[in-house]
Chains A and B, each alone.
Chain A
Amino acid sequence: SSELTQDPAVSVALGQTVRITCQGDSLRSYYASWYQQKPGQAPVLVIYGKNNRPSGIPDRFSGSSSGNTASLTITGAQAEDEADYYCNSRDSSGNHRVVFGGGTKLTVL
């Protein structure tokens, strides 16, 4: 099976840029999707594919990928961006499974 690894916690000063990463072998074959989850709420899709944002997601959110690492970048982080962020992708074993990263808690200082 495949795993996706994320840093447990990241912090950023208000208005600065932060990158949240996701590593895993499956990312060499598949794009990651990124989800934002605030306390007590359901996750929200923020980035998918090469670098696509669903309607309503601010353009300060962007995505990129290189080798086995996918990244979510927030340019000019806002207080409301403080949340948990999860990546996911297909399992590269070809068994039609989905894997999630363990999540990154983003703190905006």
Chain B
Amino acid sequence: EVQLVESGGGLVQPGGSLRLSCAASGFTFSSYEMNWVRQAPGKGLEWVSYISSSGSTIYYADSVKGRFTISRDNAKNSLYLQMNSLRAEDTAVYYCARSADYDILTGYDYWGQGTLVTVSS
């Protein structure tokens, strides 16, 4: 059974940093592209970042480029999101999502349960 479990969310002050993790199991993690998608409270979904299976190709949304860094450790079956210079508008539930074969950039066939990041003083 495919499982994605996010962790690392919490309350952080504006300008602070946080590192999210996503532990994957039930599939060959190193063979799949991965993504972070977020959802502000009461709002819609927003794509954050994509990373290829090897980690060699990375894309970011304009809203986080230069502040967030996606990475992965295939030996540990884990995906990460390092978030720096956090702003109030980064407050959201952050989901990790596995890319589907049919479209590795926009298709997400498995999602984690999400971890809440709150940026507030």
| A residues neighboring B (CB under 8 Å) | 1, 30-31, 33, 35, 37, 42-45, 48-49, 52, 54, 84, 86, 88-90, 96-103
Contacts and interface: CB of A to CB of B under 8 A. Distances in A.
A66 B9 CA distance: 41
Given A42-B95, A44-B111, 6 more contacts: A33-B103, A42-B111, A49-B103, A86-B45, A90-B103, A100-B46
Interface residues of B, number: 22
A44 B105 CA distance: 16
Interface in B34-79: 37, 44-47, 50, 59, 61-62
Contacts of A100: 44-47
Interface of B: 37, 44-47, 50, 59, 61-62, 95, 100, 102-103, 105-109, 111-114
A43 B106 contact: no
Contacts, number: 65
Chain A CB count within 10 A is highest, among B45, B105, B109, for B45
Given A33-B107, A45-B107, A96-B59, A86 B44 contact: yes
Contacts of A31: 103
5 contacts: A84-B44, A89-B106, A97-B59, A100-B45, A103-B44
Contacts of A54: 109
Contacts of A52: 102
A84 to B, nearest CB: 8
A59 B50 CA distance: 30
Given A33-B103, A52-B102, A99 B47 contact: yes
Nearest to A30: B106
Nearest to B96: A42
A101 B105 CA distance: 15
